Amino acid sequence: MNPRVKVLLAGRLSYGVGLHLQKILSDHHHKRLSETANTLVLLEHEPVYTVGIRDGGYTEADEKKLRGLGADFWRTNRGGLITFHGPGQLVAYPVLDLKQFRTSVRWYVRQIERTVIRVCAELGIKAVTSPHTGVWVGDRKICAIGVHGSRYVTTHGLALNCNIDLGWFEHIVPCGIENKGVTSISEELNTDVAVADVIPIFRSTFSDHFECELIDYPSDEASQLLRDAAS
């Protein structure tokens, strides 16, 4: 029997609320508070630059400069280096107990990559992996990936550029990779493709690659969960 995964459409959240939401959901796993604790959170973030655990190169002055652009700034426990999240980017946080799937973080990351590559293919874009993290179109990154695992419970995830303003990335070296660019679905197709357009394709593809049954969060439960995350 395939695992069941609840889908939470969280709308647009600040990064801090998104972190708190993941903490609540991961606690459901660790404390066994919910029979169906596996959750796929889909959202957009308010503008924010985030750095991963390997990125100690950003000083307080750098942080102040980036905040001055109108974005928030967070240091996180995910893998990877600096990236940007903002409106027009589909952020997916799968909070899964890998013991119900496969107890391999490498397998998990690979399934995320395959999911994104197929989403792009469905839209007519040839995307690939590379020795660098994420998913690429040529030498331009279209999707950043950074995950965290604790006792095989996953947090963080991926950020797929749909119709995001790519100008935000000009102020950083995305994911610490020099001489590489950033792109989006809209940029590649030369037409506006919103997050809402991509979500149905992403859901279907995620279900296929993770061999799981997706079910929607009941609206009352979802509303309460988002209120708790914002408190």
What's the per-residue H, E or C state across 198-225? HHHHHHHHHHHHHCCEEEECCHHHHHHH
E strand or H helix that includes residue 48: strand 48-51
- The response to whether 68 counts as a known ligand-binding position is no
Residue 101: how many other CB atoms lie within 10 Å: 21
85 appears as a binding residue in the annotation: yes
Spell out, as residue ranges, where the chain has pLDDT lower than 50: none
Q: Which of 120, 143, 162, 175 is catalytic?
A: 175
3-state SS record for 149-203: EECCEEEEEEEEECCCCHHHHHHCCHHHCCCCEECCHHHHHCCCCCHHHHHHHHH
pLDDT digits (tens, 9 = 90+) for 188-228: 999 999 999 999 999 999 999 999 999 999 999 999 999 99
Phi, psi of 131 (to 5 degrees): -60, -20
Query: What local confidence, expressed as pLDDT, does residue 175 receive?
Result: 60
Quickly count: other Cβ atoms within 10 Å of residue 144's Cβ: 26
Domain ranges for the chain, please list them: 4-230
Contact yes or no for 226/10 (Cβ under 8 A):
yes
CA–CA dist 110, 95 (Å, integer): 16
Residue 146 marked as a ligand binder: yes
The reply to whether 83 sits in an annotated binding site is: yes
What class is the 4-230 domain? alpha beta
The model's pTM: 0.94
Q: Give the whole-angstrom CA distance, residue 100 versus residue 93.
A: 17
Largest CA distance in the chain: 52
- Two tokens at 210? 């993770």
- Asked whether 71 and 168 are in contact (CB, 8 A), the reply is yes
What is residue 89's predicted lDDT score, i.e. its pLDDT? 99
162 is catalytic: no
Specify the pLDDT at position 110. Answer: 97
